[in-house]
Structure 1
Amino acid sequence: MKPNIHPDYQKVVFHDTSADTYLLVGSTIKTERTIDYKGKVYPYVAIEISSVSHPFYTGEQRVTKKDGRVSKFKNRFGNRGIK
């Protein structure tokens, strides 16, 4: 590997502000902010949504049923001519 071309990989605390949850993750993100988390000082990044609060991961996602072209055609014309 070439020296000095790869970003520094370090543990970073991400704060999901919508769920008020802290996640300690390895990352190469650069930030000036730090936080004392579980007795150690880590770089800190505030985020609005994560797997803790995203509806897809929490099971609260609402699926809206949108009929496609074929469904609209079948609803409009029924099964005429289809055997």
Structure 2
Amino acid sequence: MKNDIHPEYAPVVFRDQGAGATFLTRSTVKSSKTIELDGETYPVIDVELSSASHPFYTGKQKIVDTAGRVERFRRRAAKRQAEDAASE
């Protein structure tokens, strides 16, 4: 490997703003903000979504009513076919 071309890979805390959860991991991202976690000071990156607040992972995902949409489409298609048959 070449020297002095790789970014520094260091511990960083990612903080979910919505849920207040923190995740300590390693990254090359830089930040001027810091946070104290477990007696150590780390750079912190604030994120809007993480697994702690994402609806898919929290089980609060909304179910889309696809059956209603399909039924409305079928009614419109049947109406259009009836209009086309009447005009012939």
1:36 and 1:24 map into 2 onto residues whose CA distance is 11
Identity of aligned residues (%): 41
Give the Å deviation of 1:65.
3.1
In the TM superposition, 1:16-55 aligns within 5 A as 16-55=16-55
What do the CA deviations read for 1:55-83 (whole angstroms, capped 9, x no partner)? 01111111213446xx9348844xxxxxx
Distance 1:74 1:7, change over 3 A: farther
More helix, by proportion: 2
- Unmatched 5+ residue regions in structure 2? 79-88
3-state DSSP class of the match of 2:73? helix
In the TM superposition, 1:4-83 aligns within 5 A as 4-66=4-66, 67=69, 72-73=73-74, 76-77=77-78
Which one-letter code corresponds to 1:72 in the other structure?
A: F
1:6 and 1:62 map into 2 onto residues whose CA distance is 42
- Unmatched 5+ residue regions in structure 1? 78-83
- TM-score, normalising length from structure 1? 0.75
- TM-score, normalising length from structure 2? 0.72
Which one-letter code corresponds to 2:24 in the other structure?
A: L
Query: What root-mean-square deviation, in Å, do the aligned CA atoms of Structure 1 and Structure 2 show?
Result: 2.0
Number of residues paired by the alignment?
75
